[in-house]
Amino acid sequence: MRRSAVPVPVSGADVCPKPQASSLKPQAPSLLPLYNDPMFLHDTGDPARTIAIPQASHAWLAWQLAEHWGNRRFNRPLPRAEVLAAVMLHDSGWTEFDSSPGIDPDGRPRTFDRMDVVSHLEIWRKSVDWTALNSRYAALLVARHFSEMADVKTVDLLNRGDTTSARLAESFRAEMERREASWIEGLAVDARYQDCLEGPRRQSNADILTLADRISVFLCATLAEQFEIAAPTVEGDFAPVKLTAMDRTHWRVEPWPMEGDRVRLQCEGRLLPKTSFDSAEEFHGVLHRAPVERVNFTLLRSSAIG
């Protein structure tokens, strides 16, 4: 497996072909309320060995997954360089926050539900801005990703009775849609993107970003021993892909959405001796002194041995 942390360049011939199916089915992958935490606390099974994984490394793991994604049944990212850039950069707005995260009132590293909506939306906006400095098409996919996340956030806020914050999230979604429209107009004259700006191919690329992000979140945050994502297929619909933990680092995947019979993924984080702190200063001191450790995962086809 290649371990470069930057998108792989492709030749100018990497132009989006006509999709094989005329349109995707109306349903889209279910959007679980998985908000982007400022960092992920990876459970190793030992309370004295929790690994704090920053957003940047979570995105790197998602990039590795997207790099391998696709086979004769499941769509591949195309144009490859831009889709991989979108996956790698989609959480780039968190970089400043990751350097000095806070704690919640219970003394634990701060997570989304303790973060004010204005700050959270601004970080999403910065992620789109940073991506746009690299590629407008990649930024188009990231804007779509956060537009969908803003819809989920709006519903959650309304359910909690926070109508003021819900209006902010809805305004953010409308802003992302305007930016998408602007990039679509600007890229329409470029033959490279002719068949990727609207319809099945663009939606498939957006779905690959979403599923790579989703799988990485589950792995980094040790959220469940089994979960499903919906993946776009070459026939133009979605197929459920189930991931089941064999142990803390090995996962069976069925049906298999990549080539070969296994894929090895990695990310990095800081090893924390505890997850509760008396102050932000104590947390920062422990975090910055903590050793960096690599976290490995192996995804296996159901028929693979070992």
Question: What are the pLDDT digits (tens) for 146-171?
Answer: 999 999 999 999 999 999 999 999 99
pTM of the model: 0.86
Statement: residue 31 has pLDDT above 70? no
Q: Which residue type does 146 have?
A: F
pLDDT digits (tens, 9 = 90+) for 183-225: 999 999 999 999 999 999 999 999 999 999 999 999 999 999 9
Question: Where residue 95 falls among pLDDT bands split at 50, 70, 90?
Answer: confident
Average pLDDT in the 8-18 region? 42
How many whole angstroms separate alpha carbon 169 and alpha carbon 164?
A: 9
